[in-house]
Amino acid sequence: MVRVALDLMGGDKAPTEILEGAKLSSSQDKKILLIGTKHALEKAEGFGKVEVDDFLPMDVKPTEVIRRKNSSMYVGLKLLKEGTVDVFVSAGNTGALLAGATFVLGRIEGVERPALGVPVPSTNGFTILIDAGANAHVRAEHLVDFAVMGFSYAKILGCKMPKIGLLNVGEEETKGDETTKEAYVLLKKSFPENFVGNVEGHDINTGKVDVVVSDGFSGNVAMKTMEGTAKMILQTLKNKVDSAGILQKLGAFLMKKVFVELKKTLDPRTYGGGLVLGVNGLVVKAHGSSDRFAISNAIKVACQGVQMQVIDGIRGEIKRVRDSGTHR
């Protein structure tokens, strides 16, 4: 049974939608431990509970998590560190979660900067986007670390020989700033058989690569642009069907199953959240605007991460790359 700690106070829609997400996800194959204030926990029947008297608002400075040791986020990370739970899920402030996870859990040996890895939809099923928002400024060596972690994550999710691309403004090796140019050389050396070179934003969802490596600023912009585009497509489709004639509506009815699957594929809530990769513990970051459906899926991601032993896989991949200097 997977033991999940859930930050009831993290996110724009906390605690109501977080609690409802826990209820949606409740089943015999997992044990959910809710961490929240006394008031937030009043209606949380049927769950384990840990009461705190503090929580971090969404606009908090990231370093506050280290000082506020009785906040729901810090307590959740501490429970994970102590082995009381197997995974911690939060929709709270990304910077605070990263800082807290790094401070409380520590970094995996060989990783200087943990990063946020998110599976986004592609024609191949998924593409791992890393970093999706944890590190706005990075060095070339950090991008190599991200590639190693994303590569390992993709393999764990079922991709046997993941292809890696570096997010850039053009495909040519000479494109980009000094950091991306240096990272290109390092990635080519570290992953001679897997690194395909630079990729652009429109390549993320096409299946050209299985892992897209980026700094957190660019990666987060790319991810949220995809989410906005998906919402636009779904809303436009709905509006066109609503304003269509009887024959078109009949055709839409006959294709209802296709449209349901399309919505499921494009809806960012389906993917629940990303993993904070590079720390000594499994931490899932749900989107700050997560509703109950997204939280339920974030818990699903958390359980899958535990079952697939993501952390052990990343440790092994980091060691192999560091020991050999190249990936084999």
Q: What is residue 325's predicted lDDT score, i.e. its pLDDT?
A: 57
Q: Report if residue 328 sits inside a domain.
A: no
Is 123 contained in some domain? Answer: yes
- Residue 123 shares a structural domain with residue 263: yes
pLDDT score for 308? 85
Q: Are residues 189 and 235 in the same domain?
A: yes
Q: What are the per-10-residue average pLDDT scores of the chain (328 residues)?
A: 95 94 86 95 91 94 93 97 97 93 92 90 89 90 93 84 94 90 93 94 93 94 85 86 82 78 65 85 91 92 88 81 57
> 255 and 156, same structural domain?
yes
Residues 40 and 164 in one domain: no
107 and 245, same domain (yes or no): no
Last residue of a domain, one of 221, 239, 269: 269
Domain-located, residue 327: no
CATH number at residue 183: 3.40.718.10
Asked if 21 and 163 sit in the same domain, the reply is no
pLDDT of residue 327: 43
325 located within any domain: no
pLDDT at site 324: 64
3-state secondary structure the chain: CEEEEEECCCCCCCCHHHHHHHHHHCCCCEEEEEEECHHHHCCCCCCEEEECCECCCCCCCCCHHHHCCCEHHHHHHHHHHHCCCCEEEECCCHHHHHHHHHHHHCECCCCCCCEEEEEECCCCCCEEEECCCCCCCCCHHHHHHHHHHHHHHHHHCCCCCCCEEEECCCCCCCCCCHHHHHHHHHHHHHCCCCEEEEECHHHCCCCCCCEEECCHHHHHHHHHHHHHHHHHHHHHHHHHHHCCCHHHHHHHHHCHHHHHHHHHHHCHHHHCEEEEECECCEEEEECCCCCHHHHHHHHHHHHHHHHCCHHHHHHHHHHHHHHHCCCC
Domain count along the chain:
2
Domain annotation covers residue 38: yes
> What range defines the domain where residue 182 resides?
119-269
- The encoded tokens of residue 75 equal 């307590």
Nearest to 134 by CA among 153, 119, 120, 113: 113
User: Same structural domain for residues 146 and 228?
Assistant: yes
Residue 297 lies in a domain: yes
Residues 231 and 159 grouped into a single domain: yes
Residues 100 and 127 placed together within one structural domain of the fold: no
Does 318 fall in a domain?
no
Query: Do 95 and 132 reside in the same domain of the chain?
Result: no
The pLDDT of residue 270 is 64
Tell me what pLDDT residue 269 has: 62
Indicate if 260 and 128 belong to the same structural domain.
yes
